[in-house]
Every structure is written in structure tokens, then in C-alpha cells.
Amino acid sequence: MNDLVLNIFRLAFLALIWLLVLGIVGSMRLDLSIGRKARTGTPSARTLRKHPELAEPEPTSRKAASTLEITDGPLAGRVIELQGQPILFGRAQDATVVLEDDYASGRHARLFPQGSRWFIEDLGSTNGTFVGDTQLTRAQAVEPGQRIRIGKTVLELKA
């Protein structure tokens, strides 16, 4: 076969393999975020007709909590700035908030952000963690204003 044609074929092959690479990269561009709520942006009218459950709910005035206030217990009055990082409560010295509370366990509970909300999770404490009056059995979302009780300490998220 003609050398020129052959060289064109060779270049075309290199172009084809790069087309594959770029095609893959391009298809991943749509998929750069994590989890179910993968893509943001308003769904198109067509998507909405097909999936009515995607309609944007009425905007709520809920604002992300920015501080955590200790309202009762030995540390009452203390305010902790939330910085988007998990907070560990307990008597252990390496806890984020060291509770000097005889009814708290060493590693009692953990408050962590996910999405725009904060979740509280009991870490197997002896006396349990309460949101309102109910004892936690699994990680649960907390809204500003709800009372979280750990031992004798009561905490509240503030917007």
C-alpha cells in the first residue's frame, strides 16, 4: 500500500484512540458530583412532565445552622461555631467538645454535616442521646431549635 495512505491511516488510528479517551472524559463531565443528587440546575419542562416528583418544592426559609449553643449543664452558655466538620462529644480528652459531665460517656455522640443538614449519631453511649424526648437509635437529622440532650448537657443548633 502507498506510504502516504498508510501514514494517514496511522494518524487516523492515533486520532481514533484519542477520540475514545476524549469521549470518555466528555461523558464523565456530566457526572462530577457525588451521590444521588448528582446534578444541580432546574429540570427542564420535558423532564418534569416525565418525572413530576422532581418539581422543586416550595422554598422553605430554613437556613443552615451556623452555631451550636450549650443551653444547660456544666458548660451552659458556651457557643461553638460550626465549621462544616464533624464534632465529637464526650468526656475523652480528644473529643471536640470535652463534656465534664458524669452522665456522659467517653465518646458519647457525634454531630456531622451532610448536604445542608446536621446529623447527630450516638456512638454507643451508656446513657443514650436524646433529640427532644426521643432516644436516638440511629443517626438523625437535627433542625435548629431542637434540643439535643447528652447526659445533663443540653445543646441546640442556632441558625
Find the length of the chain: 159
- Residues between 128 and 147 with contacts to another protein, criterion CB under 8 A: 138-139, 141
CB 97 within 8 A of CB 89: yes
Q: Is residue 25 at the binding interface for another protein, with CB under 8 A as the rule?
A: yes
CB 121 within 8 A of CB 136: yes
Q: Is residue 45 at the binding interface for another protein, with CB under 8 A as the rule?
A: no
Q: Is residue 27 at the binding interface for another protein, with CB under 8 A as the rule?
A: yes
Minimum CB–partner distance for residue 131 and another protein (Å): 14
Q: Quick one: CA torsion of 109, 113, 115, 119, rounded to 10 degrees? A: 20
Q: Is residue 4 at the binding interface for another protein, with CB under 8 A as the rule?
A: no
Minimum CB–partner distance for residue 133 and another protein (Å): 20
